[in-house]
Structure 1
Amino acid sequence: MSGQLLTWLSVLAFLLGFIALVLEIFVVPGFGVAGMAGIILLAWGVLLLAVDFTQATAALVVALALTIVVFFLGLKFMSRLNLWQRLTLGTRLEKDEGYVAGQVDLVHLVDLTGVALTPLRPAGTVEIAGRRLDVVTGGEYIPAGAKVQVVRVEGSRVVVRRADYI
């Protein structure tokens, strides 16, 4: 391969890797294919530009070490200037301020029967005593329209089984 083609190939790999990392950060959520492809393309671009493998490996190790140092310096800088508090939500939803989860007592539904409004595979919606409820089964599939019976209630979790076979 000619030297000029190799140079352009390494620049292209490096730029594509950079673009993939930018897409991963700003467009694609999580750390997935774009992030891994970006890291691999960046490393490949550096390896192609190197005179020999030892030089490329040394450059990548130095780059990794500098990245770690800059990361920890950035953390220290953010804590000293209170930048972290500006980036995160500082308020809390405290119980004494009136923020509580809705407490619904569903124990009275045990042994009542109703109708599955959606297929329960194993979660879905049923109507019991005139109320629509989100429920789960013990693992079995129950088609929509089947009669169901409440087996137990665990907090806000309502467990049902098919009542046609009872």
Structure 2
Amino acid sequence: MTVFEMEWIGILITGFATLFLIGEVLVNMRGLFGLLGIGFITVYFGAYVETSSIIIMLIIYFVGLLLIIIDGKLLNDGTLATIGLASMLTAVALPSPSFTSGLYAVLGVLLGGGSSLLFLKVFKRREMWNKITLKDQLTKEAGYNSMNETYEGLVGEEGITLTDLRPVGTIRIHRKDYSAISNGQWIEKDTAIKVVQVDGTRILVEKIN
């Protein structure tokens, strides 16, 4: 029995292939991980696929990997990543000589992809991921600050309660509705109120006498 006839060998080959290929995308290893990953996946397809079909299976596998990268770098909604993962799993499952071997190969891709995240704790991540993270942080901070400025501008404004404040309820100021809280008072619906304090998105109001 050769090593490739062992059903469990697929989990090692596809696992290391995916581990190093995704690892190369995440951290800057100057192509070393990429070469190792390509080597492992080529060995896998070379062992189970006819020579004429190796290129096709490699394309399916790497297109899947590319879709995951595009999703992570540009879209971040998971759609392309899901399609890409399905493509990679299909590529390693189809050539397997048996159902069990296919399951091992699929499991290898999943374990390898998940384990590649550990490289981020050891090696320097690629600059493109740092830029994406920074951009997301700046976007969120900008949105949060913009919301704070809008709410802070309500201090001193007058409006009306749309519901009873017990002490939390809904108010309307300049045709816009907000959630607000009174200072321990029960303020009835359709009562004139004034914003006295804003803390983040917490609006404190009092009844206008």
TM class by smaller structure:
0.3 to 0.5
> Which TM-score applies when normalising by structure 1?
0.45
> Which TM-score applies when normalising by structure 2?
0.38
